[in-house]
Amino acid sequence: MSSNASSKHPVRVPPEKREELYRLTNPPKVAWPSIAVFAYVVGGIIAVDAAALYGLIPLWVGSILNVFTMYPFFHVMHDSMHRALSSNIKVNDWIGRIMMLSIGSLGSLESVRIPHIAHHRFTNDVKDPDHYFHGAWWTLPLRWMTVDYYYVLYTLRSGDPRARKVIIDSIPYTLFVLSIIVGVISFGYGWELLMLWYLPQRIALGLIAFTFLWLPHLDGDENGELGHIHPAASTAENLTAGTTMRLGNEWFFSPALLWHHYHLIHHLWPTTPSYNHAKVWKLMEPELRERDLRIQKNFDLIPTLHTGSMSAAAAQ
């Protein structure tokens, strides 16, 4: 799925909206709302771990709390992958790297960026790496909770000429994280590591894959059963039908889905700071409703196809 800038049939942007759209869809010097999320994740993990290790709360409580402190890390890491945290690329990337380190990810920011960008390039196509997150219902939790392992494996297998350099450059980072894990275990804190790090990390990643990688790419099949959006319905020939918009109960979905209930906005303008998705939708709603949209209403899984007045072929 192309972005709006590279699509054969981009969404029409009226001249009077171009300046505001540019402002909303490009990174500021510092995305302060995202920095606030960064502080919440890092500070929350430190506070929960300290409380558990000092015996102020049971380990199982710390484990549950760390799911909620780790979950929003995706917002920061994901926006960093798209260079939406800061117009300064070095600042942007270092924030993303620290965010990955804060949850003890063995994969570096760069090693997961390659498959995610491939997902944007080939959304729902046979080459889309995110097909991994769809399958038989009983396999889904395992698929979702191994998102980082799969992404690193994809990078190793991708054949992308950049991948070899990325993997080699990531070795010091991975060894550093492994050394911390080995050190903590050697000091006799293996159980604490499992409860405060590994279990909440896996659960948080599972929730992230469910909400950001699976939910926005659902559709009904020919029998009305839940399935993946079919490639033929979501290529660059029909740009706006490749992923969904979830409308209704925004008061709940904005914090719960970290602004990605407007997932189509992200695919059209990937450098948009996530907290601006709602503003972009409000600005561009009339033009977007000219096109085909898959709209998930409230808590629906299967979207309703909104057929626009302008066909994909005519929307040039």
pLDDT tens-digit series, residues 68-84 = 999 999 999 999 999 99
Is the pLDDT confidence value at 236 over 70? no
pLDDT band at 313 (very low <50, low <70, confident <90, very high): very low
Judged on CB neighbours under 10 Å (0-12, 13-18, 19+), 316 is: exposed
Whole-model pTM?
Answer: 0.92
Span 20-38, pLDDT tens digits: 999 999 999 999 999 999 9
pLDDT in tens, 145-204: 999 999 999 998 887 788 889 999 999 999 999 999 999 999 999 999 999 999 999 999
Is residue 105 scored above 60 in pLDDT? yes
Of 154-168, 215-229, 252-266, the range with the highest mean pLDDT is 252-266
| Among the listed residues 220, 244, 215, the one whose alpha carbon sits nearest the alpha carbon of residue 230 | 220
Single-letter residue type at 47: A
CA distances (Å), 48 to each of 57, 265, 269, in order?
8, 34, 36
Asked whether residue 224 carries a pLDDT value surpassing 80, the answer given is no
CA 189 to CA 15: how far, in whole Å? 60
Distance CA 316, CA 312 (A): 8
- CA pseudo-torsion sign 156, 148, 38, 195: negative
**SS3 at position 201:** helix
313 or 111, greater pLDDT:
111
Query: Would you state the pLDDT for residue 232?
Result: 56
Position 30 scores a pLDDT of 97
Give CB contacts under 8 A, 24+ apart, made by 159-162.
160/114, 160/118, 162/114
Confidence of residue 310 (pLDDT cuts 50, 70, 90): confident
% the chain with pLDDT above 90: 79
Percent of the residues in the chain that have a pLDDT greater than 70, as a whole number: 95
* 272-298 tens-digit pLDDT: 999 999 999 999 999 999 999 999 999
- Residue bearing the bigger pLDDT, 102 or 239: 102
Q: Which pLDDT belongs to residue 316?
A: 42
List pLDDT tens digits, range 47-67: 999 999 999 999 999 999 999
1 compared with 187, residue with greater pLDDT: 187
